[in-house]
Structure formats: structure tokens, C-alpha cells
Amino acid sequence: MDPEASRTARESLDLAFQMSNILDTGLDRHTLSVLIALCDLGVNPEALAALVKELRNEKPSLSSATTRSSLS
């Protein structure tokens, strides 16, 4: 990647991350970068958003299952 393209990509990610923080999405820079890359590859953004929401809803149940299994 040439330096200009690299700079543009970094600035775009910075801007997307700032918007993500303003909207309080809770996404870190790396996760946001992966999601953007998937969109660039043609993955449906609405499907990705639904997946992120679903995974967040499952996270507490996964944490409690891990805690229960480690207590056994």
C-alpha cells in the first residue's frame, strides 16, 4: 500500500472510531477495523450489526456459564 493510501485509510478509521465513540457503540478500534473490512468485502452491514448485537446479548450468559464450570 502506498503511503498516501495508508494515510487515507488511517484517517478514515480514525474518523469512524470517533463517530463510534460519540455514538457509544463500545467497539474498540480493532473490532471496528475488522467490521469495516468485512463491509468492504461485501458483507451486509445490517447483518453484521445484528450479529454484534446478538453476540453482546450472549456474552453475559457465556460469562456465567464459564464461572459455573470453573466453580465445579
- pLDDT for 70: 56
- pLDDT for 58: 86
Residue 17 contacts by C-beta under 8 Å, 6 or more apart in sequence? Answer: 29, 32
pLDDT tens figures, 15-66 = 999 999 999 999 999 999 999 999 999 999 999 999 999 999 987 766 566 5
Asked whether the beta carbons of 17 and 36 are under 8 A apart, the reply is no
- pLDDT for 61: 67
Of 2 and 35, which is predicted with more confidence?
35
45: enclosing H helix or E strand: helix 45-71
- pLDDT for 1: 72
